[in-house]
Amino acid sequence: MTRFDGHPPVGDLGMPLVSLLAIAASLFVGFGNGSYVVRYSPAAIALVATGVTLVWIASWPRCAEVLVSERHNRIDGGLAFAACFLAAVRFRGGLYATGPALSISIALVVVAAAVALVLVVFRYPQQALVSTLLLIGGASIAMIVASPAPQIDVWSMYQAVAKGLLHGHNVYTQHWSPNLPGQATIYAYFPGPALALTPFYALFGDVRFGVLFAFLVSAILIRRTARAPQAAIFAALLLLYPFLTFSIEQSWSEPLSLLVLLLMAWAVRRQKTGWAIVALAVLLTFQQFDLIFVPLTAAWKGFGVRRTALSVTLAAVFIAPWALAAPHRFIEGAFTYEFHYPFAYASLTIFHHLSDISGVLAYLALVVGVMVALTIAMKRVHEGGSFLMGCSLVLMTLNLVDKVSNFNEWELAAGLILAAGAEALGLAGRTGARRQRHSRAGFSS
């Protein structure tokens, strides 16, 4: 077993402040995101606003250089998982779920949080991650069983287009009957998610198994990429995000975007340029808001403008046949529908509060907030800062000021900040190992 005793292992200088801020930010966002009753309260908005503020602080370069002691690591880790346990008890997912399977799902989430808390307090982060993977995986499967036909347009859409793809139909020309009146009857994304989820529909009869797969692999990738045992803490926190089984039930596909972004960051660090180019191209065939990450990849020294342009070209070539086969339906689904998406007071955003004062003020905050976040993130990434941290900064800022920000967008942002925190921990560990090697070499000489 991997233990953290009183004397930290070689190369472990403690957890960087940026990593602690990432944990805190994800928890604030998670609790705010889970506090939904008819509409989000001012308290929920205050919680996510605090999380966004912490991300802005963590994005400041000097924060990454400040380290805290091993004693503080353990305290903060225990507090984080204690919060996850409270969230598991407080936020019981399953909007459309019923029956014994729902009870099993809820119980497994609570047990997963409790077991992870105990293991982290006793300093077994690896085992905490393994138990969380197994228990949350089981809880999510139980949730799918408990909710075989959720009344949400996203699930109806993905199920229908997956079935149609298996019969050679264009996703933009298909028709299906939504579960509730007024729900979407057009495919409202780029074609990538439909293709990625279709194999899971073919194998299991439900696209939500693909969403669960993306979550579980993302957690494993966070741990493996950071190359630090304590990175397992961040991976476990991803799976203990409040209401995660609820998001599985809804079949929101943002975990696909998270997985591909993590694969891209991994490929760049391993100098696997071809894989990184393909990963970005795949990302750009997913959801429209993923396009906001393109300026960051262009500014990223590890990737750059030419590779970004190649990825954009590959994505455009992939999407073109779908668009050319049904141009009107493609524009209606991929662009017009999103542009005319109705403003929702139930969104977790400050936009509606500002619009009560002035519509101009609300849109001004939206434009200025996103532009400032993009500018700062691009500058940090170009100077060698974390790409994942830049993505989190931009997406969280967008979510806070956008006219519509739902549970799934905030969940993706929380996943990105946790991945950035694990990355910072891994970098700190490697820097510490080099310093200790140099110190020993100097002493020997």
**142 vs 429, more confident:** 142
Q: What long-range pairs does 272-278 form, CB within 8 A, spacing at least 24?
A: 273/307, 276/303, 276/307, 277/307, 277/310, 277/311, 277/314, 278/311, 278/314
CB-based contacts of 357: which residues, under 8 Å, 6+ apart? Answer: none
For 274-292, how does the pLDDT look when each residue is reduced to its tens digit (9 = 90+)?
999 999 999 999 999 999 9
Mean pLDDT, residues 98-127: 94
Q: In DSSP terms, which residues pair with 40 in a beta bridge?
A: 36
Task: Give which of 269, 231, 262 is closest to 425, Cα–Cα.
Answer: 231
Phi, psi of 37, rounded to the nearest 5 degrees: -135, 100
Tokens 């700062």 identify what position?
Answer: 376
Task: Give which of 233, 243, 345 is closest to 32, Cα–Cα.
Answer: 243
| Dihedral Cα 160, 34, 399, 147, nearest 10 deg | 0
CA distance 31 to 379: 31
Task: Give which of 205, 203, 220, 282 is closest to 251, Cα–Cα.
Answer: 205
For 9-34, how does the pLDDT look when each residue is reduced to its tens digit (9 = 90+)?
333 335 778 888 899 999 999 999 98
Q: How many CA atoms lie within 13 A of 231 on its CB side?
A: 25
Task: Give which of 240, 223, 221, 239 is closest to 231, Cα–Cα.
Answer: 223
Q: What is the mean pLDDT of the chain?
A: 86
Residue 443 has pLDDT above 70, yes or no: no
Residue 64 has pLDDT above 80, yes or no: no
Task: Confirm if 206 and 149 have CB atoms less than 8 A apart.
Answer: no
Lowest-confidence pick of 172-181, 279-288, 425-434: 425-434
For 304-314, how does the pLDDT look when each residue is reduced to its tens digit (9 = 90+)?
999 999 999 99
User: In this structure, which amino acid lies at residue 283?
Assistant: L
Residue 66: how many other CB atoms lie within 10 Å: 10
CA distance 45 to 43: 5
Task: Confirm if 187 and 174 have CB atoms less than 8 A apart.
Answer: yes
CA distance 42 to 358: 18
Task: Confirm if 144 and 208 have CB atoms less than 8 A apart.
Answer: yes
b or e along 6-20 (b: 16 or more beta carbons within 10 Å of the residue's beta carbon)?
eebeebbbbbbbbbb
What local confidence, expressed as pLDDT, does residue 433 receive? 47
Task: Confirm if 373 and 398 have CB atoms less than 8 A apart.
Answer: yes
